[in-house]
Amino acid sequence: MKKSVKINISLLLVFMLALVPFAQPESPQVQATEEGSELEQQLNQMLNNDPILQGGLAGVSIRNADTGELVYDHIGDIRLRPASNMKLLTAAAALETLGENYQFTTELLHTGSIKGKTLQGDLILKGKGDPTLLKKDFDSFAVKVKEAGIKVIHGSLIGDDTWYDDIRYSTDLSWSDESWYYGGQVSALTASPNEDYDAGTVIVEVYPGEKAGQEPIVKMEPETDYIKIVNKAKTVSKDEKKDIHIERDHGTNTVTIEGEIPVEGSRSREWIAVWEPTGYALDLLKRSLAEQGIKIKGKTEAGTAPEDAKLFAEHKSMPIKDLLIPFMKLSNNGHAETLIKEMGKAVKGEGSWEKGLEVLEEQAEALGMNKETLVLRDGSGISHVNLIPANEISKLLFEVQDEEWFSSYLNSLPIAGNTDRMVGGTLRNRMKNTNADGNVKAKTGSISTVSSLSGYVKTASGEELIFSVILNNLTDGGQGKVIEDKIATLLADQ
């Protein structure tokens, strides 16, 4: 009898389970439905089936720009590496913390007294973070010294970079990036080679010799004795292939050039990050002083300005609203990290990544982001440890529209298809001859296996949308741009 009851209960359980549909595991990909809009179905089809994304992650967040309402969300709350989309937060925090009209100051100071044509003391160049100093700015300082009647500096030429700490690299910067412009050292006293303002770098150019067998001709911008060139390259016949390598040796300012360049061939050029940019800035000032006939009797070295040092002259940078153009349009990593340190100095009294990132996190929260889901390790996005969900970036882009500095922020974003470098920036060759051309205003991002694009677009029907696309775990990060452009163009077509 007991056995019979047991069998009946088992049969009953089987019958009941048969009536309950099996629970399907939730897919990380959004599934297309008949009820979904045509836009949703098109996006789902692309994100689920494009071979570029096979094995990767695609965080996509689209909002109505007027209401902030999510129009589309594809794993939008999953934390992903943002690459240079991190700069969207850094720029917003800098505008909010420092202000649109904030300027960096560089001071020329002196100790001792001026007697006749001699400065009986030291001449001190004190940096306060300006990443835009050019050779002509050091020339202007030298002219000021000459106008004061000084022909001899009896003391030393000193560079003071103590406005920030002495940690030159952000925590996660790869060793393989350190000699290139995008991995340049961050110092409170630095210099740039041209008006792209890649601080702490020199431009090294290699031209062919007149005949095969000759050494190639090497030029630097700006000219500086701070860099030592070792030229191991050679000029070859004009029908041979160009293969030139320009690289700085670790821990030094020795730049080695190797390879071959054909007669009448085009130049090779690299932006090379210097080792210890404080000395680089000092060397440029020393050259400018020499060009004005001013002699320095003492040493040229790093040091600290005494509190009683007298102000000789000062230089003001462009305001941040103008610095945002090369910063955001060209995705300048050095500007991002400088702004992080400057925010730390201004708010916390310490020009360090630690204090600057504390300010960045506080501003992220103030600007509507959920700081509990963010991992912030630098200001540029070069770190592979940074993590931000796409929904948080689109939320930031929605919230900043109400800020008084928003027009400067929007103006700094690259514009699709505009060939002017300082307008189209990193989007100047993308989405041409589509509805996105001249319409999409967005920040690009790219590091190994990662690609991102976030910004604003106006649809064909006149609706303003905010979008964020963050692609991770790609086998070819460059291919991610294809997906981003498809999405942005699809939105512009609506």
Catalytic residue numbers, as ranges: 84, 87, 331
DSSP-assigned states of every residue in 23-43: PPPPPSSPPP-TTS-HHHHHH
Distance CA 284, CA 305 (A): 19
Distance CA 291, CA 303 (A): 24
Angle, alpha carbons 227-335-323 (nearest 5°) = 115
Encoded tokens for 120: 């009986």
DSSP state of 346: I
Distance CA 459, CA 467 (A): 12
Contact in structure between 222 and 241 (CB atoms under 8 Å): no
Contact in structure between 106 and 128 (CB atoms under 8 Å): yes
3-state helix, strand, coil in the chain (%, to 5): 35, 25, 40
Helices (H), 71-211: 86-97, 135-147
Residue with tokens 């800020």: 403
Give the contacts of 10 (CB within 8 A, at least 6 positions apart): none
Contact in structure between 176 and 326 (CB atoms under 8 Å): no
Contact in structure between 155 and 115 (CB atoms under 8 Å): no
Distance CA 197, CA 462 (A): 37
Contact in structure between 309 and 113 (CB atoms under 8 Å): no
Distance spanning both ends of the chain, measured CA to CA: 71
Contact in structure between 415 and 436 (CB atoms under 8 Å): no
Distance CA 187, CA 163 (A): 9
Instruction: Give the residue from 186, 169, 204, 56 showing the smallest Cα distance to 130.
Output: 186
Instruction: Give the residue from 447, 449, 431 showing the smallest Cα distance to 439.
Output: 431
Residue with tokens 């790219």: 446
In one letter, which amino acid is 424? Answer: G
Within 10 A of 407 (CB to CB), how many other CB atoms are there? 11
Give the contacts of 112 (CB within 8 A, at least 6 positions apart): 119, 120, 121, 122, 154, 155
Residues counted in the chain: 494
User: How many H helices and E strands in the chain?
Assistant: 12, 23
Instruction: Give the residue from 440, 350, 458, 375 showing the smallest Cα distance to 89.
Output: 375
